[in-house]
A and B are shown apart, each in its own frame.
Chain A
C-alpha cells in the first residue's frame, strides 16, 4: 500500500466538495483495499462514503421501485430488499459474510467487474443509476469491462430497481473466487422480459436479445431450446473456455426461468 490521506465526510454535499478537490471514493473497500495492498493503485487521497447516513438504506418510491442508496451493504440489501426477492437473493450470495458486511452496491456498480453480480441485476431490471449529478439508465451505464458512464469524480448515490412480476438470478460460481463464472438475471415485466448476463463476456455485462424475444413470447425454459450463445466474445480463462461459457449462458438462463419467482 502506498501512503494516502483519508477524508471522512458525513454528508453527501461534503463528499462531493471533497471529490472536486481530487480523490477517489472509498466505499466498502472490498475491491479497492486489496488493489491498494497490491500497490496496483496510488490514489493519494481517499474519500470514505462510509459515514454518510444519507447514502445508506433501502426504500420503496412512489412508482414502487426498490431504491437502494449507494453505500448500502450487500448484507443490508439481502435483509431488506424483501419486496424484490431475486435482488435480495443475489445480494445474499455475494462473496462471504465479511464481504457482504462491508461491500456496497455503489462500489460494485462503479467498479463494474465483468464478473460482478449487481450489474446483472441492474441491467436485467432496467434500473436507474443515480449520481450526485444525474440519473443514468442501466442500458447506458455499463460500457464494457470495468467501464461505466460515470465521469471523473462522480458518485453513485442511489440505484432504483423497478420490481418485475417474477425474476431470478442463477449464478454458476468460478471455483476459486466464487464470483460468477457465468450468471444470468432474468426478469419478467408486464411489457417484456429482460435477460442480463455477467461473467461471460469480454465486454462485461450484456443483454441477450434473442433470449429476451423468445421469453417475451413464451416465458418457459423450453422457449430457449435451440438458442445458442455466440462464443465469439466470451471470456476464456483458466476456469472455462469460450464454448463452455457460451453453453453455461443457455443453461443458467433456463434455470433462471424455471426458478423465477
Chain B
C-alpha cells in the first residue's frame, strides 16, 4: 500500500495551486510605490575599445532621472568569482575584473554599457537610443583554440593571455596514465563538442532595488536560487553593504536551472541605483536580453582517450578539454569544468588510471557557468560516448562492456579524488533491461525498416556527485564559501510548525516534500507544517539550491533541528507526564511513557512550551524553536542507467525519439511523484541538448541563436512518454535521510544515450558508418554525416 502522507508518499505539490492559478508572487509582480525603471544599453558588438560615452542628450530626455555609466562604478568592487582554481603548475587562475557596467572596453555582445533610469520603461528605452558611444571595434576572440595561441588578441589586456588556467587532475596521475595508454591493447579516441546552451527558465531575470533612508536599509528583490549567496557576494564584494543593512528576497522563482545561482551586474546596479536616486529601481529582462546576458552553459571542446587491455578491461582514461569561460568569470564558472567535471571522470567504472586536463579560456562571449548538471553532464557525455565507440570498434556488446568494468565494491575511492559511498550499478542496469524492453527491440527495428526508417538503441550509465558539498573539502579545492545549509524549526504554540530553510525552491517542490519529512518524524499532518524560504530576513544563513543539494544538505539540517525540537519536547512531555524523559516515546503526534497508557498530545506539549505555567522553568527554557547547520561529510552519488530508442528518417536526417527509459538510484525517496517529475524535466532538457539546442556565435562574436526563431527548445512533441523507475535504492550512508538528490540526473544521464542511439540507427543502415556526430543532432547534421 503506498503511503498517503509522510516519507514515501506522493503528496500533491501544494505550491502548484498558486502556480497553476496565476497567483504566484514572482519578482516581476513586485511593484513598489515610486519605483523607477532601468533599461540597459547593451553592446551590439563583441569586442571594442570604449573611448567615451556621451549621455547628455539622453539625460535631457523626458522622464529620465539619470544615466549611469561604467565611471559611476569605479569606486565599487567588480562582480566576484566564488572559486579560485590553482593550475597544474601551482599558480592561481587569471582572474580579470568584471565591472558592473563596461568601462574602457566592451567584451561581449549583450554586456551592459549604460543604464538609463526613467519614470517609465519606454522613456528609458527612448533615451538609451540617444546615447552616443565613442568606440573602436577590435577583432573578436571566439574560437577557444585560436584564443590561446600566442598571436591572439586579448580579451583582457591586464592578463598575460586568454588562458584562465591550465588544470591537471590528478596531476600526479599524468605519467601513469600516459604509460597505461602506451601499453594498452586498444585505445579509442573521440573528439567532441559539448554544445553551448542557454538555460531559458520560463521566468526571465528580474531585480528590484529598494533603499530606505530612515534606517539605511537596502533591499534587493531578485530571481535567485540562493538569496544569502547574493547578499554575501553583492554586499561584501561589490557594494560594501554590511549584511545587517542588506536584505535579499527571492520570492517565487520560475525556474533556475543554474543560471539564477550567480550574482549578476543588474542586481548590483538596481541596489546601487536605488540608494543613489533614493527611489526603488526595477529591471525586468526581456527574452532577448536573457539570451545575451544570462550565463550560458556547457561549451566544452574535448578529446578523450579510453584505453583497454586485451580482455576489454578499462585501463586508463585521458582527456583534454577546452572550457569556455566567456568574457568574464561568472560566480561558479571556474569550478564547473574542474571540480564538478574532473572528479566524475571515473564514471561507474573501476578504471585504475585517469587524468583530466582542462584549459579554461576567455572569449568575447557571454560568461558560461553552471547549467543543470554543471560539469557532470560534460563528464558523463564524453565517457559514455567513448565507451560506446569502443564497444563498436571492438565488436562487443555495449552493455556487457560496461558491466564488465563496473565498480562493485563500496566505498570506492576513484583515481580522481572522490569516494563513492554506495551504489549498485548492476542493479540499475538490470532494471533498465527490464523496463526498456530490449527484447522487443528487434521487432520494433524490423517494423521501422518496413517503413523506410532506421531504428537505433542507445544506452548509457551515469554517476554524479551532488549534495554539494563538504565545506572543508571544497575549501581546500578553492571554494571561497562553505557549502553547508541551515534550517530553523519553529514550533508554534498550538503545534503547527514553520520551517525556515536556506534552500530555495524554484520548481523543485520543497514546500511539499520538506513537510513530509517533519510529518513523518513527529506524526502530525503535513498541512500543519509550512516551509519559509527565499528571504534573508526570515531564514537562517543557507547556501541555496543547486547541485541537487536541497534535501541532502538542507533537509539534513532540518532533520537535525527537528531532532533537537523533539528532544526538548520530550523533556516537556516528561514533566507533564511526571515521567523520566528517557522513557518518553513520540509516535503519531503523541508522547507516551513507554510501557504505560499515559500520554499527552503534541499540541499540549507545544502549548506548554509557550504558556509555561506547569513547566520545568529551572531546567529548560520556554519556547520550542531550534536551528541546525548541516555540513555534509561527503558528496552523494546518485547513479543510473538510461536507454533511448530513436527512429531516423534516412532521407531527411530527422530523428524521432521514440522511447526513453531511466533506471535511477537516488537512495531513499521522500516523494516519488516529485522525483519522477524531476527526472522527466531533466530528460527533456537532456534531449533538448542532444537534439535541438545550440547556442552559436559567428566569427565576429555576433550571437546567431539569439531568439526562439533560431534557438530550439524541446517541446512536448519532441519528447516521448518516459518510462522511469527509481526502485533501486542504495541509501546514502552519511546523511540522516539516506537521500542522494535527483534534480540533475535526467539532464546528466540522457544526452549520451540519445547520441548513442542515433549512431546505432545509422550503423544499422546500409550506408556509410558514422563514428560520431556533435550535438545538437539536427536533421541537417545527421543527414550530412550520412552522406
Residues of A within 8 A of B (CB): 1-3, 38-39, 172, 175-177, 181, 237-241, 243-244, 247-248, 251
Contact = CB atoms under 8 A, between A and B. Distances in A.
Contacts of B617: none
Interface residues of B, number: 25
Contacts of B125: 39
Contacts of A237: 710
Contacts of A248: 652
Given A172-B652, A176-B692, A238-B696, 16 more contacts: A38-B288, A39-B125, A172-B654, A172-B779, A176-B708, A176-B709, A176-B710, A176-B712, A176-B713, A177-B709, A177-B710, A181-B779, A237-B710, A240-B778, A243-B784, A244-B784
B651 interface: yes
Which 9 pairs show the lowest CB-CB distances between chains A and B?
A176-B712, A240-B780, A175-B712, A177-B709, A244-B780, A251-B651, A176-B710, A175-B692, A238-B704
A175 B654 CA distance: 10
Nearest to B714: A175
Nearest to B704: A238
Given A177-B708, A177-B710, A239 B651 contact: no
A233 to B, nearest CB: 18
Nearest to B691: A175
Contacts of A175: 691-692, 712, 778-779
A181 B780 CA distance: 10
B712 A247 contact: no
Interface string B211-250: 0000000000000000000000000000000000000000
A241 B705 CA distance: 16
Interface of B: 122, 125-126, 288, 651-654, 691-692, 694, 696, 704-705, 708-713, 778-780, 783-784
A83 B710 CA distance: 35
12 contacts: A1-B122, A175-B691, A175-B778, A175-B779, A176-B692, A176-B705, A176-B710, A177-B708, A238-B694, A240-B780, A241-B784, A244-B653
A243 to B, nearest CB: 8
Given A239-B780, A240-B780, A251 B710 contact: no
A176 B784 contact: no
A175 B708 CA distance: 10
Nearest to A179: B709
B651 A241 contact: no
A3 B784 contact: no
Contacts of A251: 651-652
A241 B711 CA distance: 17
A176 B780 contact: no
Nearest to A176: B712
B783 A238 contact: no
Q: Name, among A172, A175, A240, A241, the residue most crowded by chain B CB atoms within 10 Å (CB to CB).
A: A175
Contacts of A172: 652, 654, 779
Contacts of A177: 708-710
A12 B778 CA distance: 46
Contacts of A241: 780, 784
A247 B126 CA distance: 46
Contacts of B694: 238
Contacts of A181: 779
Contacts of A239: 710, 778, 780
Contacts of B709: 176-177
B388 to A, nearest CB: 24
Contacts of A2: 126
A73 B476 CA distance: 64
A247 B779 contact: no
Contacts of B288: 38
Contacts of A38: 288
Contacts of B651: 251
Contacts of A3: 122
A12 B653 CA distance: 47
Nearest to A172: B652
A241 B779 CA distance: 11
Contacts of B653: 244
Contacts of B692: 175-176
